[in-house]
Amino acid sequence: MRLRNLRLLIGGIALSVFLLLQLATPVLAFSTAVTSGELAVLTSAQLTDIRNACLSLGLGGSAFCKSVAQKAVAVKETQDPGIVVTVKETRGKRFLPTLAGAVVGATVYGVEFATLAGDGNFVGSADHIVPASWGSIYFESGQKSNTSPMTIRITIDTSPPPVLPGSISGIASSDGDPVKEVVVTARMQGNPGVSAQDVSDMDGGYLIADLPPGMYDVEAMKSSYESLIVGDVVVSSGADTPVDFGLTLLPCSERPVKDLLGVALIDESLARRESGGASSTTEYVEESIRHIRQNGFTAIRVPFYWESYVYNPTEFVDRVEFIAQTAQANDLCVVFANFQYYTTSYWNVEFDGKSLGRGFPSFVVSDFPLTNNDYIQTAGPFWDAFLSNSITVDGISVWEVQANFFGIVISSVDSYDSVAGYEILNEPHLFDIAQYDKLGNYHTYIANEIRAVSDKKIYFDRETTWGFTRDPSQEPKIAPVGMTGIVYGPHLYSIPYPGTQAETQIQNFETWSELWGSEVLIGETVADTQEDADQLLKVLKENEFGWTVWSWKPTVSTGSGRTYYESNTVEATDVLKILLAAMAKVY
């Protein structure tokens, strides 16, 4: 008797716990194993204990569990695939929208229902399905009359839907402007072998299609921009996932030189002789830089002369900083180039009817007076002494004196991201083949002095020979030795058509730059016809050379250059129109 009472007590406790659990989870539960791809069908055996199940009904604003034993709900087997639920309510009550059921042990991918009997009215389909180890089906529309039961057939589909490829698309931009030619790559997490990419178009748009559903990392890359990765991008079956990229430009010294496409900006305030001369206004600098950028150029090469600094150090330093600052405000890169043109104004020598020299100040060349009004006779001894570093100024070697001048320029502008680097010396002069070694020693010395105060790129120019023919076999000697971050900056004033000397020069530039581990910027070039411009830019792009044409605006020392700009009130020059058309075609 005690044992029987104990069993009854335990059984009562268990039943109470079971009922509490059922009340806490008001769903119609069927313990059935469903094979993926089949329909859920109840058997008689599975209905044996259905009296203990619950159906959640919403009546008015409340919800409660109706027991099958109360016969408010009846569940029976159907010959058709699925489950038939007959709902019979107390007279005077209305059947409201909520009906819930569950299938244990199945992943539910779809459900259909239909009214089989009675005059109830259900419209619509299941609005919520949970694809987990069990499925919940909710219906939100319909009501029944109070005069007869309503029978509903619920068909539960456990067939997984077909897996369709998805896609990722979006826009690549920088500061609100579209960026073309951005390579966007999607890689599936945990399976990097699954990847695909696209390149953004003129509007910055891209589309990576035919991606298997899953989780991806998406990377946007373009030279001169910081790479950007967006992780945990979900690609769903048959759906497109939007991913936009806001790219940031790298500092100019970190951008590939091949992306520097520009002009030489002549600022006469930096080109004056030691005795003075014409000057440019800051308005001219602002106007020019704005127009240069608006025309699609990315860089300027800015000549500066040692003599101009000697003439007015304060104005000189203020101007180089103003150029760096204005260029940065316009997303334009600057190469500051230490210039000489016919060495110095001190000699005032006439050459080809010109008296245009400037560069080295008088205290550097004073021991080399003008000889017979002849440039070669005068300049030859100076350059040999200069490249031998045998000139002293107040007991200091001329290389060190020039390096100190360079240090002043660098300290004024090195903090600006717009500064791509510094050019050691424009067109150094050689008067003897033995001076190739000396030029290499000079470049190495100045490069080391620059590197001691700046980590920006160091540009070095090709020699100009006097009295003998340039020897390409000697060219490898001129590069700075043991230096990283160097850029070879030769000039090219002919068009590299197949079979021409210009094509041979391009091939030499490529060979030497690979030997030196340097990049290449064609510091000066020009093209007068559309055909020439197209061919020139095509070859430079193919070889991944940057370039700056000579020059934006003429000065008294135009050399072999052309006029690309007069003022904002004058129509673009013909050579500028030609160059812009070539850029649009090639780049």
Distance between CA 493 and CA 421 in Å, rounded? Answer: 23
Given this model, what pLDDT does residue 571 score? Answer: 72
Instruction: Answer yes or no: is pLDDT of 244 > 80.
Output: yes
If pLDDT is split at 50, 70 and 90, which confidence band does 553 have? confident
Given this model, what pLDDT does residue 98 score? Answer: 30
Average pLDDT over residues 32-52: 35
Return the higher-pLDDT residue of 353 and 118. Answer: 353
Highest mean pLDDT, choosing among 299-308, 351-360, 544-553: 299-308
**Helices 435-451 and 398-413, packing angle to 10 deg:** 40
Average pLDDT over residues 518-547: 97
Q: pTM of the entire structure? A: 0.74
Distance between CA 128 and CA 136 in Å, rounded? Answer: 7
Q: Is 186 helix (H, G, I), strand (E, B) or coil?
A: strand
Average pLDDT over residues 567-586: 86
Q: Which of 129-133, 191-195, 242-246, 329-333 is predicted with the least confidence, judged by mean pLDDT?
A: 129-133
Write out the DSSP string of 129-146: E--SSEEEEE----B--S
Segments making up each domain of the chain, as ranges? 24-157, 166-249, 253-586
Given this model, what pLDDT does residue 413 score? Answer: 98
Please name the residues in contact with 186: beta carbons below 8 A apart, sequence gap of 6 or more: 168, 195, 196, 197, 208, 211, 216, 217, 218, 233, 235
Instruction: Answer yes or no: is pLDDT of 561 > 80.
Output: no
- Token representation of residue 488: 């070879």
Residue located via tokens 């029976």? 76
Given this model, what pLDDT does residue 21 score? Answer: 27
Query: 504-523 burial, b if ≥16 CB within 10 A, otherwise e?
Result: ebbeebeebbeebebbbbbb
Distance between CA 469 and CA 377 in Å, rounded? Answer: 17
The percentage of the chain sitting over the pLDDT mark of 70, rounded to a whole number, equals 70
Measured CA to CA in angstroms, residue 85 lies from 31, 58, 65, 149, 547 at distances of 16, 16, 15, 10, 80
Given this model, what pLDDT does residue 341 score? Answer: 92
Return the higher-pLDDT residue of 531 and 551. Answer: 531
Model confidence over 269-308: pLDDT tens digits? 999 999 999 899 999 999 899 999 999 999 999 999 999 9
Instruction: Answer yes or no: is pLDDT of 78 > 80.
Output: no
Residue located via tokens 């313990």? 31
Average pLDDT, the chain: 79
CA nearest to 108, candidates 67, 70, 159, 178 = 159
Average pLDDT over residues 215-232: 97
Given this model, what pLDDT does residue 574 score? Answer: 87
Amino acid at 343: T
Distance between CA 251 and CA 420 in Å, rounded? Answer: 8
Model confidence over 456-475: pLDDT tens digits? 999 999 999 999 999 999 99
If pLDDT is split at 50, 70 and 90, which confidence band does 325 have? very high
CATH class label, 253-586: alpha beta
CATH for 166-249, options being 2.60.320.10, 3.30.70.20, 3.40.50.2300, 2.60.40.1120: 2.60.40.1120
Return the higher-pLDDT residue of 104 and 406. Answer: 406
Given this model, what pLDDT does residue 44 score? Answer: 34
- Token representation of residue 371: 């000889």
- Token representation of residue 543: 């070889």
Q: Which of 6-20, 107-121, 325-339, 378-392 is predicted with the least confidence, judged by mean pLDDT?
A: 6-20
Return the higher-pLDDT residue of 216 and 113. Answer: 216
Instruction: Answer yes or no: is pLDDT of 77 > 80.
Output: no
Instruction: Yes or no: say if 151 and 160 are a contact pair by the CB < 8 Å rule.
Output: no
Number of Cβ atoms within 10 Å of the Cβ of 13: 10
Given this model, what pLDDT does residue 16 score? Answer: 28
Model confidence over 121-177: pLDDT tens digits? 444 443 333 333 333 333 333 433 333 444 445 555 556 678 899 999 999 999 999
Bridge partners of 486, per DSSP, are 458
Write out the DSSP string of 522-586: E-EE---SHHHHHHHHHHHHHTT-EEEES-SS--TT-TT-------TTSPPPHHHHHHHHHHHHH
- As a whole number of Å, the CA-based R_g of the chain is 41
Model confidence over 480-507: pLDDT tens digits? 999 999 999 999 999 999 999 999 999 9
Distance between CA 184 and CA 187 in Å, rounded? Answer: 10
Going by their DSSP bridges, the two strands 134-138 and 177-178 should be labelled as unpaired
